[in-house]
Structure 1
Amino acid sequence: MAQLLCRDLTLGYDQKSILEHLNFEVNAGDYLCIVGENGSGKSTLMKTILGLQPPLAGTVERGDGLRANEIGYLPQQTLVQRDFPASVEEIVLSGRQGRTGFWPFYRKADRESAEKNMERMGITAFRKRCYRELSGGQQQRVLLARALCATEKMLLLDEPVSGLDPKVTADMYQLIQGLNEEGITIIMISHDIAAAVQYASHILHIGKKVFFGTREEYQHSRLGEWFLQEESVNA
C-alpha cells in the first residue's frame, strides 16, 4: 500500500485553481522530486500534503501506517527565521513538539531523539551555539535534524539547497541521499532538474504539462528531454 496517495487533486487559493486533476502515489523508501516552473503550485502541493491547506478538490490519503505527526518538514527559510535567537539544541528539540501531545514538557525519548539527530547531521559541537551565528549550510543541517526528530518515515523538503554554495549543496544532497538509503521516504521540491534526475527515484513535473514516473521514464519523455536540454543550455 502507498504511504501517500493523491487522487484527482485540484490546488489553488480562494477557489481559483492553479493545478487540476493531479494523481500520483509515493511508496515507502521512494525519493520523489517535485519540479516545475515558478508558480506551478509546488509549494502549494507540499502544504496540501502536510494538511496546512485544503485542496479545492480531490483527496490526500496516507497509508502503510503513516500518521500525520510522522512527517518531517523542512520549509524554505525567511530572513527573519535565519536570525532566530535560539540555540541549536532548542531548535532541534522543537521538532518533537508534534509527539508530546498535551504534555507540556520534553521527555527522555525526545531528548534522546534530538541527541541522535544532531549527531546524525554532524552538528553536536554546535549544540549550545546560537542558531543565527551559523552559516547557511550549518543552519540547514540544524533544520534537517529538527525535521528528523518528527519522523523515521517521511521527510518533505522545500528547496533545501536554495542559496547554498556548490560544495555545501553537494554535501546536502549526499546527506539527503544517505537518509533515503536508510529507508526514509523523501519528497523534495527542487528547481534543479539535473540534480533531481541524479538523485531521485521518481519525478513529478507540474505546470502546463504534468509528468509522474520514474527518473528513467522522465529522462526519456518529451517533457524531461526538453527541460534537461534547456537547463544545460542555461547552465
Structure 2
Amino acid sequence: MSIVTCKDISIEYDGKVAVDQVSFTIEQGDYLCIVGENGSGKSTLVKALMGLLKLKSGEIEINKELTLGGIGYLPQQADSQKDFPASVYEIVLSGCIKSKGLRPFYNVKEKQRVKDNLERLNIFDLRHKSYRELSGGQQQRVLLARALCATDSLLVLDEPVTGLDPVVTAELYDIIEELNRREHVTIIMVSHDVRMATKGANKILQMGRKVLFFGKTKEYINTSYAKALLGGGH
C-alpha cells in the first residue's frame, strides 16, 4: 500500500528552484534514504513532505489513515535547541500534543505511550534529567522518542546523526533499522552518509534538485552515482 506519493513536485527556496519535478512513491514498510550532495534539495523536499514549505507545482498525496495517525518528524537540530531547558520527559510528552488536541491535560494512554517510547530507546532512566545536560547521542534518542509518540506508522528523519561520533552514529542507525524491520515503522531519512544508508535502507532516492536515482538499494549500489559518493567502493 502506497502511503506517500509525490507527483512532479517543484519547490522554490530563497528565490531559486531547489526541487525540480520530483516524483516517487513510498510504500508501507519502506525504509527510504534520501541522499545527495549539499544543496541538492534533500532537506527542502522533506520540509515539503511535512507541509512546512509550499509547492511551486505538482502534488503530494498522503494516505488518509496516515494523516489521521500523524507523522513523526525529527528535523535537523540547531545548536540553540541543544540548550533547551526542559526535562527529557516533557520533551517526549510533547510528541503527543496532536493526539491531545484541545484537552487541557494528557491522558493515561498518552503518558503510557511516553513511558513505552522512553523504554524502547533505553532512556527511561534519563526522564527527569534536563535535556541540555545530555550528550548529543542521548538528545537524538529523546527527539526520536518524541517523534515516535506522534505515530507508529511513519518517521521522517532529517540528518539525525549529524555531529555524532561514529559509535553513537552506528547505534542510532541500528535503532532506526530495528524500528523498520521489527516494528514495521516506515522510515524516510535524509542522510549524508551513503555507506551507512545503503546498509539499512531498502530504497534510495538520490537528489540533484531532480531525481538522479530512485529505486531499490541493491540496484543503486552498482550505479555511477553510488560509486561517486562511496569513493569507488562499497
TM-score grouping bracket, smaller chain normalisation: over 0.9
C-alpha displacement of 1:107 = 1.1
**1:116 lines up with 2:119 in the alignment:** no
**What is the aligned-residue identity percentage?**
50
Note the aligned Cα RMSD (angstroms). Answer: 1.6
C-alpha displacement of 1:102 = 1.7
Q: 1:213 aligns with which of 196, 215, 229?
A: 215
* Equivalent in the alignment of 1:158: 158
In structure 1, what residue type is equivalent to 2:93? Answer: L
Q: Secondary structure at the match of 1:67?
A: helix
* Equivalent in the alignment of 1:6: 6
Specify whether residues 199 and 179 from structure 1 end up closer, same or farther in structure 2 by C-alpha distance, changes over 3 A only.
same
In structure 2, what residue type is equivalent to 1:174? Answer: D
* Equivalent in the alignment of 2:230: 228
* Equivalent in the alignment of 2:75: 75
**1:188 lines up with 2:189 in the alignment:** yes
Given that 2:20 and 2:209 are in contact with CA atoms closer than 8 Å, whether structure 1 keeps it comes out as: no
Measured in 1, the distance between the counterparts of 2:69 and 2:53 equals: 16
C-alpha displacement of 1:68 = 5.8
Specify whether residues 101 and 231 from structure 1 end up closer, same or farther in structure 2 by C-alpha distance, changes over 3 A only.
farther
**1:170 lines up with 2:132 in the alignment:** no
The CA deviation string for residues 120-162 of structure 1, in whole angstroms up to 9 with x for no partner, is 0101101111010011111111010000000000000111111
Unmatched segments (≥5 aa) in structure 2: none
Q: How does 1:8-157 map to 2 (within 5 A)?
A: 8-13=8-13, 16-63=16-63, 65-67=65-67, 70-157=70-157
* Equivalent in the alignment of 2:200: 199
Given that 1:218 and 1:224 are in contact with CA atoms closer than 8 Å, whether structure 2 keeps it comes out as: yes
Moved more, 120-129 or 208-217: 208-217
Unmatched segments (≥5 aa) in structure 1: none
Measured in 2, the distance between the counterparts of 1:123 and 1:55 equals: 38
Given that 1:193 and 1:231 are in contact with CA atoms closer than 8 Å, whether structure 2 keeps it comes out as: no
The CA deviation string for residues 184-218 of structure 1, in whole angstroms up to 9 with x for no partner, is 00000000011111111000000166110000111
TM-score, normalization: structure 2?
A: 0.94
